[in-house]
Structure 1
Amino acid sequence: MKVKEKIEKLRQLMKENKMDAYIIPSFDAHQSEYVAEHWKCRQWISGFTGSAGTVVITLDDAGLWTDGRYYLQAEKQLEDSGIRLFRMVDPGVPSYTEWLKDVLLKGNIVGFDGNVFSVEMVKNMEEVFETKGIALKINQDLINELWKDRPDIPKDLIWVHDIRYAGKSRAAKINEVREEMKNKGANYYLLSSLDDIAWLLNIRGLDVQNNPVVTSNVIIAEDKCYLFIDASKVPKDVKFELEVEGIELKEYSSIQQFLSGLTNKDGIMFDTTKTNVCLYNAINIDTKKIEEANITTKLKAIKNKTEIENLKRCEINDGVAMVKFIKWLKTSVAEEEITEISAEKKLEDFRRQQELFVEPSFDTIAGYKDHAAMMHYKANKETQYTLRNEGAFLVDSGGQYLNGTTDTTRTIVLGTLTEEEKFDFTLVLKANIALSEAKFLHGATGSNLDVLARQPIWKYGMDYKCGTGHGVGFLLNVHEGPQNFSKIPNNVQLEKGMVITNEPGIYKEGKHGIRTENMMLVVEDEKTEFGQFMKFEPVTFCPIDLAGINKDMLTESEKQWLNSYHKEVYVKLAPYLNEEEKVWLQEETKTI
């Protein structure tokens, strides 16, 4: 079926179920950013393939709300679909709940599948709709009735993430959680987010492409831990290991029955932003509900000593793969036909040659010239460009390794650049350096520091419609909270041991896109009478293309930073390269 036909069939089902609007978000039953094929309902109904967005269908209109990363992509993919694009970050654009409040009438009904809506989202919706008298139907998975060949929930086997990489046993992690439960007066803790579960139990899986998580739920009690999972996914040796440590396996579908069996003497703790409303409604009405952010999220964000040592080794391997790729690309582009897709595959081949590699950490963004202006561009056979020895090629990619997760962006100069391209390339570099060099008092958040990266770009009346950086998991989600760099205020302090990306950019529709991204580790700097100061240590090692830089635009301090960084790149990577590659890298990292 084409998108318009799907929407018409959905509208017919809406009428049969007495609904005036239907909402389809991007999430799965665990509020994940990236989801298994089974939960790609928004993509199925709309044709829009970005990772973030919400589709709303009324009986006579339809809209997609997405953020600045996807504006250009969404415009192209929604053509002739009958779905309008709402640029949700732009001033004056209503949220989908505000829009529904305006277009619906008193007594109208909004439906959705409560399994893919968090408690927090539903509470906010109820507040917005209450004054208009709009009602909700929260247990209506209408897409499932239409999507006849919908994939099943994945059944791939899970595996144990060895403690030599994880650095902390599952028993130690569970005990940390229990201590916090006790402090909050809870004797049960419900954990639904997949990356938190994987981290807590030191297990990994293949349920979501590029995100080695396991479809499951966890409930921790005072002396027991329950893992709700499809039993066919757990090998006997893994089951034995878990059970020896007091982790009891229960069927994935039995969690609602378990929650309903709690009593009025129990208190259960959960995160309203990470728990779906169907699980919430299953909790015994008399049980005390303690709403707190996931305990595991902050524990997971602060990497332990073993994780940090592993990640640094992992980043060297990843840097070697990147250097081999960039050298191959620059020396081959004029001699052979290379497309965006073949370049992407070649980079993955270089990563697969590195020890402990598992899979890419996200779908590679490989955009040549104006394709790079789409922040999350994904090349396909119909629209891909063939690379030439001119212009710039943006490659944002990363790897999942047993000893870490990587995320690196380089804009690679393939030949002559325009003055505008060099100007923008240099501004992005200045922005990256400004944040890299930050020294800040402990207690600062990513939103406090975001302006440092934007200032060099703002100075010329430009901006980028996304955050400047995000936390990164450890053999887990490449986008990991709670820390980030963003204009949107947050109260998450940057703590020693957190890993975060630094990725400012400039994107000009129809022209080019430029981004330079390194991962950084938060470390302590000096301690004075005014408090503990902090700084960033780069953990990504890959040359920044000197051919893109207008050196006259750099200050002496910026040149010094770049020269120091490039010296470290060479020292760390050269021992793993052959002589020809060493000579090439020496030229790419020469002093300016």
Structure 2
Amino acid sequence: MFQSFESHSSPDQGPPRLALLRARLAEMGLQGFIVPRTDAHQGEYVAPRDERLQWLTGFTGSAGFCIVLPDRAGLFIDGRYRTQVKAQVDLAAFTPVHWPEVQPGDWIRNNLTAGLVGFDPWLHTADEVEKLEKALKDSGAGICPTRTNPVDQIWLDQPAAPLGRVFVQPEALAGESHGVKRRRLAEALRQAGQRTAVLTLPDSICWLLNIRGADVPRNPVVHGFLLLHDDARAELFSTPAKFDAAVRAHLGPEVTLHPPEDFSSALRGMTGPVRVDKGSAPLAVANILREAGVEVQWGDDPCRLPKARKNAAEIAATREAHLRDGAAMVEFLFWLDREAPKGGLTEIDVVQALEGFRRATNALHDISFDTICGAGPNGAIIHYRVTEQTNRPVRAGELLLVDSGGQYADGTTDITRTIAIGDPGDEARECYTRVLQGLVAISRLRFPKGLAGRDIDALARYPLWLAGQDYDHGTGHGVGAFLSVHEGPQRISRLSEVPLEPGMILSNEPGYYREGDFGIRLENLIVVEEAPAMGDNRSHLGFETLTWVPFDRRLILAERLAPGERDWLDSYHAGVLKRLGSRVGADTLAWLRRACAPI
């Protein structure tokens, strides 16, 4: 099994660890310290060594941070985790803070009258630090970088740095060689008058060099830093032991490999201007360059948009990955429909069965994240992870929310289905239907070129808004091609200002959650494409659906659907049957025909 079910949260350890940290801060002459969830690569998913926030507080979410002061410790969490945090931390020691509604600078101003709050400059971007400094201007409090991380100093059994094996991503799946990619990006550097770009994001480095790794659970990336020069040469700073002869031969003579401890000295020897991404590179990178007299120019990671705009080979491979994964999901849903009425299933049973169906494809590299399987009230915990302690029976009369995905060499999948176990009642059906209508609205959408995720996010929420309901997460995130299941910069969110472009893969996942009762989320992956000409021939974009798995017809109130929604749903289900019918067993096919019957 890829997924395990032990609890990684230790709320009882929070207070003594917090006391140790405060004692260390006092020795350093600091009034506070910021403990982020991220690592030096600004990763959402981090290696065990970098789980500082979890180690200190017990909170296991994928986003957030803690600001420790002498008399209080604010744990900043967004809407996805406001239910989860209550069960994972000692609320007498840590105070949950609703973020981004409350910004860290404002919170420090209100809770610290004088003194300095430290931060590790390798764990924060220049953008973050600049906003904090601006917010604290003219206050008695300030922030300052530390030479060492005080959490690392008190974490005596901190795991070692990861040493995952690096392997090659074939050009047939990547769509072009890493030499072609490097030369194209180097030309852009020359046009900008920049000598070098610093890459710090693992998925950018993996995309650029057509490699994959195993340094982070669920995400096939390698930790490292890379210098891309204007002559297309690249210097990669990563533990050499991870790279075997085949990978070194793949990289070739234009990519030189150095140990990570040489990175800082290499920065000091640079000739500027050097491009640094203000929003993703550690502040320490810019500080080292400036201290050495090297000119820094802020600019986006040059891989950011090319990586997001999948080429034809990547999209074709991703389609195949979704068909394979869709067939595994259909086998799973047939199994669940057969077994759940018998009673006796638990959330862990469901997770293990689903992983088994994916493994049976003989193509599964890993799951793309720990499966979220919430029965009844656990479905309302948006990023719920079942453990032996929380494992709940799958009971009749309840909803079961299953959000899961697979990592395959040809693509990354992410799908959510909410399933009726017995009869969950009309209220659940009404909420499910509204969520489905939101997904259909995004799926059917045509929109003018130049619009960003924020311009279309409301369309998924409109059916819920009519009923006075909403959900506290974005409608969609970007997805990589056998890379990170959460990929920027593309997303469907009120906060996203990045224009959507052809080739960008996104999730389409509206939801509704009633704490203590049930959760509903439905998710397909979609890819932006040129829309066929019509009307006055303005340039429009639309979405191609990548995910093909039936929705639970038992939860759909057909009379609430508009004719266009009903037509889309019937067409989608016909497409599921056409694409997957030959990929599943005979008994499953009979079930699939019923599941895909017209509404």
Whether 2:285 is the aligned partner of 1:279: answer yes
Q: Is the 8 A contact 1:297 1:482 kept in 2?
A: yes
For 2:215 and 2:564, the matched residues in 1 are separated by 46
Whether 2:173 is the aligned partner of 1:165: answer yes
Whether 2:539 is the aligned partner of 1:532: answer yes
Q: Is the 8 A contact 2:197 2:302 kept in 1?
A: no
Instruction: Number of aligned residue pairs: give it.
Output: 584
Q: Partner letter of residue 167 of structure 1?
A: G
Q: Is the 8 A contact 2:175 2:314 kept in 1?
A: yes
The one of 240, 243, 257 equivalent to 1:234 is: 243
Whether 2:450 is the aligned partner of 1:439: answer no
Q: Partner letter of residue 526 of structure 1?
A: P
For 1:290 and 1:132, the matched residues in 2 are separated by 30
Structure 1 equivalent of residue 6 of structure 2:
none
Structure 1 equivalent of residue 234 of structure 2:
225
Q: TM-score, normalised by structure 2?
A: 0.96
Q: TM-score, normalised by structure 1?
A: 0.97
Structure 2 equivalent of residue 30 of structure 1:
41
For 1:536 and 1:237, the matched residues in 2 are separated by 38
Q: Is the 8 A contact 1:259 1:284 kept in 2?
A: no
Deviations 1:532-587 (A, max 9, x none): 11111111000000011111111121111100000000000011112111110000
Whether 2:481 is the aligned partner of 1:498: answer no
Equivalent runs, 1:408-423 vs 2, <5 Å: 408-423=415-430
Deviations 1:476-498 (A, max 9, x none): 1101111111122x331111111
> SS at 2:184's partner residue?
helix
Deviations 1:369-417 (A, max 9, x none): 1100111011111121111233210000000000000000000111111
For 1:140 and 1:156, the matched residues in 2 are separated by 26
Equivalent runs, 1:311-322 vs 2, <5 Å: 311-322=318-329
Whether 2:513 is the aligned partner of 1:507: answer yes
Counterparts in 2 of 1:397 and 1:66: CA distance versus 1, 3 Å: same
For 1:292 and 1:587, the matched residues in 2 are separated by 53
For 2:210 and 2:443, the matched residues in 1 are separated by 32
Q: C-alpha displacement at 1:531, in angstroms? A: 2.3
Whether 2:54 is the aligned partner of 1:43: answer yes
Structure 2 equivalent of residue 383 of structure 1:
390
For 2:130 and 2:290, the matched residues in 1 are separated by 19
Whether 2:29 is the aligned partner of 1:18: answer yes
Uncovered stretches (5+) of structure 1, i.e. residues with no partner: none
Whether 2:121 is the aligned partner of 1:110: answer no
The one of 273, 291, 297 equivalent to 1:290 is: 297
> SS at 1:283's partner residue?
helix
Q: Partner letter of residue 173 of structure 2?
A: Y
> SS at 1:295's partner residue?
coil
Deviations 1:186-241 (A, max 9, x none): 01110001110111111111110001100100001123210001111111221232
Structure 2 equivalent of residue 309 of structure 1:
316
4+ residue segments displaced more than 4 Å: none
Deviations 1:54-110 (A, max 9, x none): 1111111111001101110012212345100011144xxx3122111222224x111
Q: How many percent of aligned residue pairs carry the same amino acid?
A: 34
Q: Is the 8 A contact 1:112 1:140 kept in 2?
A: no
Structure 1 equivalent of residue 4 of structure 2:
none
Q: C-alpha displacement at 1:530, in angstroms? A: 5.2
Deviations 1:258-301 (A, max 9, x none): 111124xx210120111111122111442221101111010000
The one of 526, 529, 535 equivalent to 1:523 is: 529
Q: Is the 8 A contact 1:453 1:504 kept in 2?
A: yes
Q: Partner letter of residue 68 of structure 1?
A: G
> SS at 1:434's partner residue?
helix
For 1:496 and 1:442, the matched residues in 2 are separated by 10
Equivalent runs, 1:204-219 vs 2, <5 Å: 204-219=212-227
Q: Partner letter of residue 18 of structure 2?
A: I
Uncovered stretches (5+) of structure 2, i.e. residues with no partner: 1-11
For 1:578 and 1:530, the matched residues in 2 are separated by 45
Q: C-alpha displacement at 1:343, in angstroms? A: 0.7
Structure 1 equivalent of residue 98 of structure 2:
87
Q: Partner letter of residue 332 of structure 2?
A: F
Q: Partner letter of residue 350 of structure 2?
A: A
For 2:145 and 2:405, the matched residues in 1 are separated by 41
Q: C-alpha displacement at 1:129, in angstroms? A: 2.2
For 1:279 and 1:534, the matched residues in 2 are separated by 38
For 1:227 and 1:448, the matched residues in 2 are separated by 38
